[in-house]
Each structure stands twice: as C-alpha cells, then as structure tokens.
Amino acid sequence: MIVELGHYALVLALALALVQASVPVLGARRGDPVLMAVAGPTALAQFAFVAISFAALISAYVRSDFSVLNVFENSHSAKPLLYKITGVWGNHEGSMLLWVFILSLFGALVALFGGNLPAKLRASVLSVQSWIAVAFDLFILLTSNPFLRIPEAPLEGRDLNPILQDPGLAIHPPLLYVGYVGLSISFSFAVAALLEGRIDAAWARWVRPWTLLAWIFLTLGIAMGSYWAYYTLGWGGWWFWDPVENASFMPWLAATALLHSAVVMEKRNALRVWTILLAILAFSLSLIGTFLVRSGVLTSVHAFANDPSRGIFILAILILFIGGALALFAMRAPLLKQGGLFAPISREGALVLNNLFLVGACGTIFVGTLYPLALEALTGDKISVGAPFFNATFVPLFVPLLMAVPFGPLLAWKRGDLMGAAQRLMAAAAIAAIAIAAMFVMQGGGPVLVPFAIGLAAYLIVGALTDVVERTGLSKLPFKTAFARALGLPRSAWGTALAHCGLGICLLGVIGETQWGIERIAELKPGESISIGRYELRLDGTTTRQGPNYREFAARFTVRSGGEVIGVMTPAKRSFPTRQTVTSETALLTRGVSQLYLALGEANADGMVAVRAYYKPLVLLIWLGAMAMVLAGALSLSDRRLRIGAPQTARARRSLAPAE
Amino acid sequence: MTRRQRRLSLIAAAGAVLVLAVGLVLAALKESIVFFNSPTDLVDKHVKPGVRVRIGGLVEQGSVARSDGLIVRFAVTDGNSTLPVVYQGLLPDLFREGQGVVAEGALDAQGIFRADSVLAKHDETYMPKEVADALKKQGHWKDEYQKKSGTTSPSRAP
C-alpha cells in the first residue's frame, strides 16, 4: 500500500510539475502577478510529493518488501539497516528518484529563499526548473519505475552489489547529486534571463550563492568518491580518469569557471554573455554526466543493449535541454548588451584567463571521454583513452593556470599592475625557490620535474595567503591590530585565499603520492615480514569470521618502525554468498598525512597470503586540500550580505561594502 | 588601449589557449590511446610484438596456473582463437575461470601476451563492454548473463 502511495505521489508530483512549468512563465510573459504567484506553492507541494514518494521507497527497503521488484533486485533481509537505506540509491531506478528528489528540493529552496528576487525572474526560474522536473519525472515513470511489483513475492532478495555495501555509498552519491543537480538552478536562472532578454549585475549576485552551494557539494562529492575508491577498490589509486569520474569532474571545472566569471559580472557588469553560456554549459555537462552513467553506454552493455529505451530517453532529454538552451542563447544573446571595459592586465583579465584554461581543460576531458564512444559508433574501432592521455593534456593546461592563480586577487579591477603584483609575490617566489633547492638536495637526482612541482605547490600556497597577509598587515603591524583587521576582512576574501591554498595543498598531496609512493607485492607465510619504506610489516596470522551477510578472511599484520610497534593492520577479504562475489577490505594506517595501505590478494592452498602493500606519502593532503576548498566555499557563502539584496539598493550596498 | 585592441587581445588569448588545447589533444590521441582487440583480431590484424594493446575475452576453463613470485598464466579465448597470457601481480577479486577479462600489455616475441594490468568484470551481471562485443562478433555470446539478470530471451548472436 505504501509503495502504491509512493507511486501515486510521484504521478501527482508530475502533474504539479506540469502546472509549475507552464503557468508561472505565462504569468511572467503577461505580467500577471496571480499566475506568477502559482510558482512558489507548487514548487513546495511538488517537493512534498516527491519526498513522500522517496520516503515510500525507503520504507519498502527498510521493511525488505521483496514484492517490489526494485527491492528484490537490490536488497537482502540480512543486510545491515544502513545498507538497506543506502541501497535505495545504489541502483538505477532509486538513484534517479534521488536525482528528482534533489531537483525538487532545489526548486523548493528557491521558492523559500528567493523572496528578494524580482517576481518575474522568480516565476520564470521556477518554471524552467520544473521543465527539467517534468522530463525526469516522466523518465522515471515511463522507463525506470522503482515501484513495480512482482506478482509472487520472493522470500529473499538478490542483495546489493557488495562493493556498494560501504558507508561511503551512504554519503557519496547524495553529495554528488546535490552538486550535479544544484547546477540546474544556475541553468534555470540563465534560461529565465534569456527568456526575459534582460540581465544585470544583480542577476549574477543572485546566481552566485546557488552556484557556490552546488560547487561546494560537487567538490565534497568528488573528494568523497575519490577517497571511497581509494580505500575500497584495493588498488591504491585515488583517481582513474574513468569516464564516470570525468562525468563529475567536467561539471566541476565548468562550475569553477562559472563562479569566477560571475564575480566579474557582479562587480563589473562585464562578461554577461559568457557567464550565461557557462551557466548553461555547466548544467549541460551534468546532464551529459547523467547520460553517460545512467544510459549504460559506458560500462554495462546490457543496460544499453537490453533496454535501449532508457538511453534513448535520456539522450532525448539531453538534446532537448542542451539544444533548446543553446538555441535560445543564440537567439537572445545578441540582445544582451556588453558592459564594463577592462584592460587585459586586470582582475577581470586574470579571471578571463582562469576561465579560458578551466574551459580548455574541461574540453580536453570531454574529448577524451567521448572520443572512444564516437569512434566506436563511426568506425567500430575500440580504443581506450586512459590516464596517459589525460596526463598529457590536462596537466600542461593546468600548470599555467596554477602559476597565474596567485596573481588574480592581487590585481586591481579595470587596470592592474602586473609588476606590482609580481613584486608582492616575491615572498612566495622566494619560498618556492628555497623549496626547489631543498628538494634537489634531498632527492639527489631523480626526476627533475618533481622539485619544480613541489616549488609550484609552495608558491601557490604562500601566494594565496599573500593577499590576506598584506591586507591584515600581519607583516608590519602588531599582531593584535592585524588580528582585528583579519576579523574585519570580508569572508569572501578569506574564502578566496583558503580555496587557492587548498589547491596548493591538493597539488602537494598529488605529487607526494604519485612520485614518492612505494608499492610492494609479496606472498607471505605467518611469521614472515616485508619492509616498505622505513616500516616493517609482519604477518602474525590469519582468521576467518562470519559477518551478517558475508564471510571474512582477515590477516593480522604488526607494523614496526625502527623496531618499535606502531600499530596493527588487518586487511581482509569478504565473500558474499548471495552474489558470489568477493570484496577487499583494505587496511589503512595513518602517519601524519601519509598512509600505509594494505590489501589482500588470494590465499594460496599452502597457507601463503598474497598482499599488496603501499606507502603513500602525503596522500591525505589530496583530500584535505579539497576540504579546504569546501570550507572556503562555505565561508564565501556565509558572506551573503555582499550578494543578497534588493536590486534597487544594490548600487548603494556595493559602495558600502569593503572593496575586494 | 582602445576598445578594439582590448577585444583583440582577448580573442588572441582565447585563440592561444584553444590552439594549445587542440594541439595537446591531437598529440595525446596519436600517442597514448590503446586499441582493443579480441584474440582473433590479434591474429587477423597481425599486431606486432611490443605494440601496446588491450585484449579481452573469457578466461579459458582450466587454464589458470600460478607459480612462484605471483606469476599467473592463463589463456584468454573468444571461441575461435586462444591467447596465452602471463601476468605478475595480484589478480582482481572478480577474476575467475570462464568469466570475462580485459588485459593490457603487449605480445612478446614468442607470441605470449605479457599483461601489466588485468581488469575483471565488476559483478556477475557486468561484462566489459569490449568483451561482450568481441564475443558477439565471434558468435559465442553466452546467454547466462541474461538469465541471471532475470530475462530469459535466448540471444545467441547470428
């Protein structure tokens, strides 16, 4: 009954979405406030019904109601409660419902917090948001209905893919989806602006917090996914340039570019057309990502070949929305007046450069991800485009970007002083030079590029802090004054510094892990040891135990450094009888920001245990850097007084706000 | 600077980044892509020893032999041809006889494929796309996968 209720609620949500998609935008065209006022309540009601529907599916999973096909295929009564719930989005149908849930959540948020938007813009944005909702509600109801029943209910379910039975799955997809789908708001704002044919700096001020919110979650989601892959797959890798990863990385790059170009638009009223285009592209890349992952063209031949209706449906949504938005853009963009002149050497110029490189890098990833698909469709040749391709294209585009990053905040708006900025970065350059020299001495040979890469990271971190250090007067004034000044700085200035700093921290981790990591593979008998770096790992013995829905084979290692015991690691293999699969449970031992990493191979008949051991120096910095970016985003987001405001007072507010 | 000059400098910068990106992509496509072949393709196309390729097929029943130093020998078949493969290291959790596998590496002078990475399918309903296509092409598409995933339509390819 609850399941039917959920199904019915989704149909009602679709009906509401149809109303919201048509009535308010019509009202905006006619200038009818009554019609426009329909948007808010329907957005909230739509969210409520999707939430009921989603809750119904969760309840079916929690109750292990195997008369529901989706539950039967992806759940098991012996599964821990957490994985029963997370299993809801561990499959195609459920994850699409989560997608729509988040989409309607964002619509409701705009309805709730968009009170200070002009009525017309608000009505149009909510309508456009609802067009997307209509498309995806239909997609779920017609091709991916999670509420289908089986006539004779089986006694037991097929269980969730064991690799997905991990706390990581509880958080990673929802975070990523909030990021992905959050970009729909920027998209809706862009399309609404094009529909109205009017756009100004206030528009950018409204769009920025939403983009920032989506960006924060996208960053979190990607970082979480990366860490999850790192500890769960047992290969020690944290980024594989896998198409599924690229699908989330491309919107991230576009959203990062959008955040920066929206600053230019907000402060200087320039780059309007470009910002609109980026807003469309960022969400288009999210849709493409959804298509790549959900249509099954990439991984499972069955998902696409057995059920092409889904792939073709998403492809149709893709063409409709991306094509439609771009066509509208082509028609309306010439009407938008370009504003705000600036010299090439200026804050605007630096942000344009940032955009060029980010979009360029995004473009190379796009080609690398889709080229194999296109080639196979056209010629039938099968190729794999892997890490070597992306390293050869992405890295050369990102290095100049990273070198330019510290300059950006130091240049003035309109007309900047490059030499002045360079002088102010002398401290950063000096520290980088010291780091390079120190690395050469420490390394004594080895790859020449590594010291320079470390130097770049040091320059990036110090350079990012230069701006706030100067503005607080930390180097000149007494500490107390500097501290008071630091508190007085706008939070967005701290956000900028911290985000750029995070980039440097992340780079440091990447270099450490890829250049100094050690890998050892060995077969051991109990009592034997292997050494890796300055650590010695001794195999004490092996045990088997029974888990709730698996059997576990674990090996116990004692880790010593310089003769002293520093910890115990117990990597394991779990075998899940229902799916006849085996997963690796890696063991991690954290030393500062470095980690020891152990994964078991198969056990031999003669009692030998195969093990894969890694020493991963600085590896945690990769994710700590990402966390710094997330925190930076949150800081900037809390600086709302700069952005949220009624349009008529915008000019007055801007002159009051401290110059950035 | 006039408006025109400013605009030109912007276009020049955009053009430079575009050219750089396109150049990098073309260079990388020439050098760092790897073609996928079934064991039959490997024979038909006369792939030379030392050229990096990906191969895919089923691990032949009874072919897996392990020896000291974590060296594994197995054979990959697409039904028509069988290719001996050597790999040193730990195999993925899902590597099993009779199941789909993809390996990357190169042929040596003796015609043995020296793999430096081996990927196995993700779960029991998943088969690497290349493997399934190669098997279909060879007319050895097995329908056990469909059976497991609930549909029983016989789908032996022509």
B60: closest CA of chain A, how far (Å): 19
* CATH code, domain carrying B82: 2.40.50.140
- The minimal CB distance from B24 to the residues A381, A386, A396 is found for A396
Whether B154 maps to a domain, the answer reads no
**Pair (B55, B27) in one structural domain:** no
Whether B158 maps to a domain, the answer reads no
Mutate one of A160, A264, A292, A302 to test the B interface: name it (highest B CB count within 10 A). A302
Cα first-last separation, chain A = 58
- The minimal CB distance from A610 to the residues B28, B90, B93 is found for B90
Q: pLDDT band for position A641 (50/70/90)?
A: low
Judged against a pLDDT cut of 90, whether residue A555 lies above it is answered with yes
Q: Where are chain A's structural domains?
A: 1-165, 171-404, 417-514, 518-616
**Pair (B66, B117) in one structural domain:** yes
Write the single-letter amino acid at A263: V
pLDDT given for residue B56 in this prediction? 83
Pair of tokens at residue A164? 């997905």
**Helix, strand, coil percentages in chain A from 3-state DSSP, rounded to 5:** 65, 10, 20
A356 with B34: Cβ contact below 8 A: no
Please report the residues numbered 98 through 137 in chain B whose beta carbons come closer than 8 angstroms to any beta carbon of chain A.
104, 122-127, 129-130, 132-133
pLDDT given for residue B138 in this prediction? 60
A383 with B124: Cβ contact below 8 A: no
Q: How many CB pairs under 8 A join A and B?
A: 129
Nearest chain B residue (CA) to A584 = B93
Whether B153 maps to a domain, the answer reads no
Judged against a pLDDT cut of 60, whether residue B151 lies above it is answered with no
Judged against a pLDDT cut of 80, whether residue A119 lies above it is answered with yes
Mutate one of A70, A373, A384, A403 to test the B interface: name it (highest B CB count within 10 A). A384
Quick check: A382 and B35 in contact, CB under 8 A? yes
**Pair (B57, B122) in one structural domain:** yes
pTM value? 0.90
A364 with B3: Cβ contact below 8 A: no
Nearest chain B residue (CA) to A340 = B3
Average of pLDDT values for A417-425?
87
**Pair (B39, B87) in one structural domain:** yes
Q: Which residues of A touch B34 (CB under 8 A)?
A: 383-384, 386
A218-276 pLDDT per residue, tens? 999 999 999 988 988 777 889 988 888 899 999 999 999 999 999 888 888 888 889 99
- The minimal CB distance from B9 to the residues A344, A396, A599 is found for A344
User: CA-to-CA distance for A619 and A598, rounded, in angstroms?
Assistant: 14
Using a CB–CB cutoff of 8 Å, tell me whether B71 touches chain A: no
Q: pLDDT band for position B130 (50/70/90)?
A: low
Whether B24 maps to a domain, the answer reads yes
A305: closest CA of chain B, how far (Å): 10
B34: closest CA of chain A, how far (Å): 5
Judged against a pLDDT cut of 80, whether residue A61 lies above it is answered with yes
**Pair (B42, B28) in one structural domain:** no
> Total domain count for chain B?
2
A444-461 pLDDT per residue, tens? 767 788 899 999 999 999
Where do we find the tokens 């450069």? A353
**Pair (B126, B93) in one structural domain:** yes
Residue B136's domain comprises 35-148
- The minimal CB distance from A356 to the residues B13, B66, B124 is found for B13
Average pLDDT score, chain A:
88
For B38-99, strand residue ranges (E) read 53-59, 65-67, 71-77, 82-88
B21 with A393: Cβ contact below 8 A: yes
Judged against a pLDDT cut of 50, whether residue A48 lies above it is answered with yes
Using a CB–CB cutoff of 8 Å, tell me whether B18 touches chain A: yes
**Pair (B27, B41) in one structural domain:** no
Quick check: A247 and A225 in contact, CB under 8 A? no
pLDDT given for residue A40 in this prediction? 93
**Pair (B22, B68) in one structural domain:** no
**Pair (B12, B45) in one structural domain:** no
Mutate one of B93, B125, B149 to test the A interface: name it (highest A CB count within 10 A). B93
B3 with A341: Cβ contact below 8 A: yes
- The minimal CB distance from B132 to the residues A301, A381, A386 is found for A301
Quick check: A560 and A533 in contact, CB under 8 A? no
Nearest to A114 by CA among A202, A31, A48, A191: A202
Average of pLDDT values for A540-547?
90
Mutate one of B29, B41, B104 to test the A interface: name it (highest A CB count within 10 A). B29
Q: Which residues of A touch B33 (CB under 8 A)?
A: 383-385, 389
- The minimal CB distance from B32 to the residues A306, A363, A389 is found for A389
**Pair (B27, B50) in one structural domain:** no
**Pair (B102, B120) in one structural domain:** yes
Q: pLDDT band for position A538 (50/70/90)?
A: very high
pLDDT given for residue A46 in this prediction? 97
Q: For residue A598, give the 3-state DSSP assignment.
A: strand
**Pair (B56, B84) in one structural domain:** yes
Whether B129 maps to a domain, the answer reads yes
Nearest to A295 by CA among A276, A314, A278: A314
Q: pLDDT band for position A513 (50/70/90)?
A: very high
Query: Among the CATH numbers 1.20.1450, 3.40.720, 1.10.101, 1.20.120, which is that of A1-165?
Result: 1.20.120
B131: closest CA of chain A, how far (Å): 10
A565 CB burial (10 A radius; 0-12, 13-18, 19+): exposed
Q: How many residues does chain A have?
A: 660
Whether B9 maps to a domain, the answer reads yes
pLDDT given for residue A361 in this prediction? 95
